[in-house]
Structure 1
């Protein structure tokens, strides 16, 4: 039955590929070798490819919307990151991009990797996150992080989502808005030079940008009053805001959240514009108090960011893509991607082209190097990428790990990509923990993976390494070698009232492993709390764990409390009486 399903998925995948516009192709030396091609994926072929997705692959609406927006705008770039089909015809990676293609109604160019081993799923997408600020830094833009923060707040203000925890905007939209509002960069620089440091930069910068567009003189007066209230009347709005900041900042319970301070400042800036000064400026979040709360205030006269949006450019986008297809097809089948055996010497040479990239994270390099040394490295079709001018765009951690491990790896390498591809790698949606095809039928995969991470950190982590995490291969091995940890996920999930499910599952595993018979007694009584006398050690543990859960203490503190109680229980001088009471 499984073989028949795999064959059906393979046929579905092959049929979908025939529907796509194949440009060029490179194939390995044999039938079992990976093959790569550049494809023009249409909405129809995307729908067919999705029929072969793996059972556990779900949709990520945020990612789909972001991708679809980029595709509609014609800003989706061939960046080397492939759609991945396994040897069994299963779509291992690319669900969100294919969904976005259908949603946008436009085709997109992509690398398609086929005949990839089915067991590489857990190794896909191990990259570290970049930020949009990192992209801005590579363009030489000053104060990139402050600029990104201001962009996010201003977009959320325009969208009316200041109170809804809407998160950040899509990178493509931030890039579009930044180009359309060149005065934002100047406002950021002016804000960072402002003496009004009592007003946090996260509030000061977007407020200054908005105010300068309405009334520059009044805005600078407001900020000057915040910086030096003694020079103004006590009723001056900026001075009143400074008093409020000084009164509330010393106590964490009264200190204003940034969104509250932003709202108060908008009200006070409106008063500065109008000259109608108030005794106090307050704002109550409507989501926190629906009865007395207010909507987020609007700045009088501010018309919002210039956002050209995306017009219906479907036809233009398709024309651009067809032109790209024709250009690639005219290059006599030259394919800029090849599987290479990258040696430490080659890695050093490649890293000489690593300019204007983000900082290398040592812990991530350590993790990949451990996999390489342990023989766990798997060629998963995700390439190391170079721009047309030779600059390394993606892969610096893998190359650094090759040097650290002192061993070679096989990896796809793609060259000739546009420089703009650098900004696109981390708009790809990050996946939750993947435990491979063998664990697709188990529930609570994130919980199991987190419990395995705890075991690794406490029992297997190499000495002398700080802030390290296990690689997906190491997590897989832990789950395979400790099957009881997988079974105890139900205990962790059931006891979620008392702590993190992963902490309780790992704690239960440690307790059972320490003393199977006595451990079962302890865990059963901890689970029910039934028929225990007042003041019993396990009842006290239940109360304490509930308090720690409400206080949201760290996993380490929860685990310490649980294992500490277990140690007191098993070492109690009157253990027999304690067991009978339990």
Structure 2
């Protein structure tokens, strides 16, 4: 590895990296090393980040906790530096290294083409639910939701956004409370109180079963069968709120508020108390003296595990594996391979216990491959040391669907534990920064490009198809008018979603630039329009549709435009 890019020597002179011998690719192209990144080295890499790159607090916290707890796994996902020495991927891991004050071992890819940035981290996000599903745990979504909600309840963070607790924390809670969790999930799904959402019913069942099994059953029975109880029974009163919320969105409580209300009502069910009403308001930044989130009396919380000998041994083994990979080039072999459909089929035979294949994701990548737009981006297909396919099933499936080969990095010899570390953070949005450095609404133009692709370019017979990052970039390049219409959309934010407004305006002007401009001007200002004019009716209708989906808003505008174009009703 070149010493001019990054100093990877320890204080005592011991080497902390080795250049991996990569077969199948000229040495002057991408270079790969296994390195140990220390907190002192991370800032020099962060200094190479793109100006638009942002710290993701949730990702950094999760990575830092894994590093501090000795749970970091060498999984093959590289820190990526471009040919121009720009950090393309690895930002959150580097911040986490600094926060954790702990070194970590990783793959470092250098000299990767800069124009591959938009292809990095476009895979589907891997969820904790997906991990539980691959283990064969019944009702994995309910189990993951229970763990997340109760951990956040105990931490006092239920009212602070929707972040998910670190997976390691949920793993420990699941291990320590597995029997009780299984019991609560079965109890929740067997009970007929389906009017109460499962995301509330299941964690509440867990809490109630720990405190008073009779009371939680009575509470849910009252929701399911109100005719068996008096009108002031807490469960009956909660049911009344649920029924009212179904018919009137204005009185429907937020999910967090409903959880709080149910805890209050369950407390009364346990104590035998009666209340006139159950309310709790979700606090906002402007709320003065907000009501604390209620606590279930007698609930002691999820048990946490003290690390078992087996876990200590696993963590020690992972450390030894990482250290061995630093020293021995045979531990984690990397090759650059041409993956033909035949090879892809062979590799997929080793795909055991993985997530379900998402066909729309496969189809999107297959289009890139078929259109000659696949780009080598240094993110590997990964196998464990026993041969199991850990990561890459969608790319391999896309090769089969496209019927054409691609070139990728393949890494072998990784620990089995790496499987659950992939794709834990949200995928990156399509990158347009380097295309339009002077453009201020990159997210808006990307969202509008996605709408255009879905409405005009989506393959026939693929209703769930999604554009790839390359396809989004192509749309933006081919339709620069989208960027010029952001001002109109921002002025019309009261009437609809900005991306819907940009696309609708683009369609109007594309149909008839002169008459279309009159239509858009009047839509914005309502100036000099007679009573009952189609544009005035459209403005009123859009107010009613402010919370509707983008396509509904677009269709409404285009329908009014068609009427206006046929009969303007005003001088044009």
- Name the TM-score, length of structure 1 as normaliser: 0.87
Q: Which residue of 1 aligns with 2:475?
A: 478
Structure-2 separation of matches of 1:522 and 1:529 = 10
Structure-2 separation of matches of 1:309 and 1:530 = 70
1:131 corresponds to which of 106, 127, 137: 127
Q: Which residue of 2 aligns with 1:282?
A: 278
> Residues 12 and 49 of structure 1 are in contact (CA less than 8 Å); yes or no, is this contact kept in structure 2?
no
Structure-1 separation of matches of 2:293 and 2:84 = 53
Comparing 33-42 with 455-464, which one deviates more in the overlay? 455-464
1:153 corresponds to which of 149, 158, 165: 149
**1:3-402, aligned counterparts within 5 Å?**
14-17=5-8, 21-27=16-22, 29-182=25-178, 183-224=180-221, 226=223, 237-238=234-235, 241=238, 254=251, 257-274=254-271, 276-287=272-283, 294-307=291-304, 323-402=320-399
Comparing 384-393 with 180-189, which one deviates more in the overlay? 180-189
Q: CA deviation at 1:97?
A: 1.1
Q: CA deviation at 1:27?
A: 4.3
Aligned length: 560
**1:430-441, aligned counterparts within 5 Å?**
430-435=427-432, 437-441=434-438
Q: Which residue of 2 aligns with 1:566?
A: 561
SS at match of 1:26: coil
Q: CA deviation at 1:317?
A: 12
Comparing 453-462 with 403-412, which one deviates more in the overlay? 453-462
Q: CA deviation at 1:173?
A: 1.9
Q: CA deviation at 1:109?
A: 1.3
Structure-1 separation of matches of 2:332 and 2:287 = 60
Structure-1 separation of matches of 2:277 and 2:202 = 20
> Residues 198 and 245 of structure 1 are in contact (CA less than 8 Å); yes or no, is this contact kept in structure 2?
yes
Unaligned runs of 5+ in 1: 1-9, 311-315
> Residues 13 and 49 of structure 1 are in contact (CA less than 8 Å); yes or no, is this contact kept in structure 2?
no
RMSD: 3.2
Query: Per the alignment, do residues 343 and 489 of structure 1 end up closer, same or farther by CA in structure 2, a change over 3 Å counting?
Result: same
**1:486-525, aligned counterparts within 5 Å?**
486-525=483-522
Comparing 353-362 with 279-288, which one deviates more in the overlay? 279-288
2:548 corresponds to which of 544, 550, 553: 553
> Residues 151 and 165 of structure 2 are in contact (CA less than 8 Å); yes or no, is this contact kept in structure 1?
yes
Q: CA deviation at 1:245?
A: 5.3
Structure-1 separation of matches of 2:415 and 2:315 = 19
Q: CA deviation at 1:86?
A: 0.8
Q: CA deviation at 1:224?
A: 5.0
Q: CA deviation at 1:243?
A: 6.3
Structure-2 separation of matches of 1:543 and 1:476 = 35
Comparing 264-273 with 121-130, which one deviates more in the overlay? 264-273
Query: Per the alignment, do residues 461 and 208 of structure 1 end up closer, same or farther by CA in structure 2, a change over 3 Å counting?
Result: closer
1:251-279 CA distance string (max 9 Å, x none) = 555555543443333233323433x4215
> Residues 324 and 331 of structure 2 are in contact (CA less than 8 Å); yes or no, is this contact kept in structure 1?
no
Q: Which residue of 2 aligns with 1:459?
A: 456
2:410 corresponds to which of 413, 424, 427: 413
Structure-1 separation of matches of 2:386 and 2:319 = 24
Comparing 247-256 with 403-412, which one deviates more in the overlay? 247-256
Q: Which residue of 1 aligns with 2:422?
A: 425
1:336-357 CA distance string (max 9 Å, x none) = 2211100001111111122222
Comparing 139-148 with 375-384, which one deviates more in the overlay? 139-148
Q: CA deviation at 1:72?
A: 1.3
SS at match of 1:497: coil
SS at match of 2:80: strand
Structure having the higher helix fraction is: 1
Query: Per the alignment, do residues 459 and 209 of structure 1 end up closer, same or farther by CA in structure 2, a change over 3 Å counting?
Result: closer
Structure-2 separation of matches of 1:90 and 1:242 = 57
Query: Per the alignment, do residues 504 and 39 of structure 1 end up closer, same or farther by CA in structure 2, a change over 3 Å counting?
Result: same
1:394-437 CA distance string (max 9 Å, x none) = 21111111111110000111222222222211223422221262
SS at match of 2:397: helix
Query: Per the alignment, do residues 15 and 328 of structure 1 end up closer, same or farther by CA in structure 2, a change over 3 Å counting?
Result: closer
1:284-308 CA distance string (max 9 Å, x none) = 2152795897432211121222346
> Residues 78 and 107 of structure 2 are in contact (CA less than 8 Å); yes or no, is this contact kept in structure 1?
yes
SS at match of 1:498: coil
Q: CA deviation at 1:282?
A: 0.9
Q: CA deviation at 1:536?
A: 4.6
SS at match of 1:52: coil
Q: CA deviation at 1:242?
A: 5.4
Query: Per the alignment, do residues 106 and 465 of structure 1 end up closer, same or farther by CA in structure 2, a change over 3 Å counting?
Result: same
1:6-33 CA distance string (max 9 Å, x none) = xxxx999713456782145234643532
SS at match of 2:6: helix
Q: CA deviation at 1:373?
A: 0.8
Structure-2 separation of matches of 1:218 and 1:567 = 61
SS at match of 1:114: strand
Q: CA deviation at 1:45?
A: 1.3
